[in-house]
Amino acid sequence: MQVTMHYHNVQEYDGDFNNYLPKDSIDDMIKYNINDVESTEELLNRLKEDLDLRLFIEQEYGLNVLSMDQTKIGEKILEKKYCDSMHITSRELKNMGSPMDYIPLKDVILPFIAYKNPKLKAVLEDMKKQIVYSKERKGYEKKFVLSNVEYSVGVGGIHSIHTPKIFLPKENEFIMHSDVASMYPSFIIQYNWIPRHLGKTFYDVYSNIYYERIESKHSGQKLKATVFKYALNAVTGKMQQETSWMYDPFTVFKIRINGQLVLLMLVDRLLELDCEIVQVNTDGVVYICKKNNFDKVQEVIKEIEQLTRLNFETDRYEAFYQYAINDYFGIIEGYSQSHNPKLIEKKGMFISDYDKSRLGKGLAPMVIPKAVINYFLTKQPVSEFVRKDKDIRDFLMGQRVDKKFKVEYGDEPVQRINRFYASTNGRYLYKVKEEGQSKQYFNMLTKSGVTLINTLDDIPIEDRHINYTYYIGEAQKIIESFVCQQLELF
């Protein structure tokens, strides 16, 4: 956490906790403890909204959820409301469930699922023949190519498979993104796809939360709306968890299989209208359509909405830069007039913002995605952008090493958790595995020496000997992967 929150001091205690603390280490231990407490307080301050939410839940529902994640909070809210409605205790819920080891997919597929495209017809027929083992996470998967796009469908969900590509609409085109609004909760509400053993009472509890959340959002009750969102989103995950009182793999397969088949229905209709599919993932489709077909596309979406009882939300992009299915950035319509950075949608490797969503998820140098995005928006050379960046945080990387390894900086032992940047005068950072008398060395950044910066300081960036060539090269490599793929198309 200290690494990813850019805390001023990343400090690890590397003493042996199985032995008494040596007297000459007491001062170091006190400094470590103080740093630990102060960094925890800083983390608490940054997560004030999350804390306020949990305190609100405690006050509103009498539940202590301070140490729970979003899914567990959602489960607890549902548990309390269901138990109150049924006049039972949570202990009585523990052994409930609707186990089912083998699930014929033909039994979960909605009767109206149908396609005109022969390839999609074959995919549907193949899926109907499958009997899947509910406890196997990966299980059935089928890959196929349709109109030059490769797809993967199966028990793990749907996604298209891509190499880097830039999508820029022509004057007579739109780039559109249509996704199902709250796909999984909507399936539950519209089709009564609740855990079968919990009966109508659970459906009533769930649907009340669904509509109360809508009302809370409209009335500005942000905390309440967030609590209900957690509750609505908790169900599908818990239906697949064998130890949960909501366990019902048959029903969760209904939701997940039909979700991807509905998206393929949209793909089927879009291809008929000469649209180009950009990507398909989980709950939405990105595509390019001709402007003169815009009204027909809207009609198709309305038809599918009426057929499925689901609602689609549609946005437009000015451009879409797709590196991989979960690594992309899209320029949302309106950016070219306002240059509002909020109109740049970033996913995966292109996320370049310092916010709480990145806490604890590793530290990568932000200057690289920043330089790439800036290049495609302004054509400013990467080398110029990188060298003008004066925020040392943008160059920082972090790595945590497993306890079976030791870490050496050059030939000096250092702590296992380190923050560093590529530098021209730094040494190499190694993780070391000791096997008897021999040592195996693994370079933690092969392309450059590094400077450790576990304690942030005020050294001017001009005096840090940053290896700009490393960062420029990494950014340029991403840009070239886009450009080379584009050239191969012609």
Domain co-membership, 131 together with 174: yes
Angle between helices 70-86 and 48-61 (to 10 degrees): 10
Last residue of a domain, one of 30, 47, 64: 47
Backbone angles phi, psi at 278, to 5 degrees: -90, -55
Render pLDDT for 137-170 as a digit per residue (tens, 0 to 9). Answer: 778 999 999 999 999 999 989 999 999 999 999 9
Q: What pLDDT shows up at residue 136?
A: 80
Sign of the CA dihedral running 214, 216, 220, 221: negative
Last residue of a domain, one of 343, 358, 373: 358
Domain co-membership, 280 together with 348: yes
**CA–CA separation, 266 vs 272, rounded Å?**
10
Percent above pLDDT 90 for the chain: 88
pTM: 0.90
Distance of CA 187 to the CA centre of its chain: 22
Q: Can you spell out the DSSP letters for 314-330?
A: EEEEEEEEEEETTEEEE
Structural domain of 30: 1-47
Q: Is 424 helix (H, G, I), strand (E, B) or coil?
A: strand
Q: Tokens 């809508």 map to which residue?
A: 214
CA distances from 364 to 46, 133, 213, 323, 352 (A): 20, 38, 36, 17, 9
Q: What pLDDT shows up at residue 490?
A: 42
Render pLDDT for 181-228 as a digit per residue (tens, 0 to 9). Answer: 999 999 999 999 999 999 999 999 999 999 999 999 999 999 999 999
Domain co-membership, 143 together with 281: yes
Q: Is the pLDDT score of 485 beyond 70?
A: no
Domain co-membership, 412 together with 445: yes
Residue 195 domain flag = no
Across the range 279-307, mean pLDDT stands at 96
Q: Is the pLDDT score of 306 beyond 90?
A: yes
Residue 65 domain flag = no
Render pLDDT for 51-110 as a digit per residue (tens, 0 to 9). Answer: 999 999 999 999 999 999 999 999 999 999 999 999 999 999 988 999 999 999 999 999
Across the range 410-422, mean pLDDT stands at 93
Domain co-membership, 270 together with 408: no
The β-bridge relationship of strands 450-452 and 417-427 is antiparallel
8 A C-beta contact, residue 268 and residue 117? yes
> How sure is the predictor about 489, in pLDDT bands with cuts at 50, 70 and 90?
very low
> How sure is the predictor about 488, in pLDDT bands with cuts at 50, 70 and 90?
very low
Domain co-membership, 331 together with 447: no
Q: How many domains is the chain built from?
A: 3
**CA–CA separation, 233 vs 206, rounded Å?**
11
Neighbouring residues of 88: CB distance < 8 A, sequence distance ≥ 6:
none
**CA–CA separation, 150 vs 142, rounded Å?**
10
8 A C-beta contact, residue 58 and residue 64? yes
Q: What is the CATH number of the domain that holds 165?
A: 3.90.1600.10
Residue 238 domain flag = no
Domain co-membership, 164 together with 283: yes
Pick from 271-285, 294-308, 352-366: least confident:
352-366
Render pLDDT for 11-56 as a digit per residue (tens, 0 to 9). Answer: 988 777 888 999 998 998 999 999 999 999 999 999 999 999 999 9
Across the range 465-477, mean pLDDT stands at 97
Domain co-membership, 282 together with 156: yes
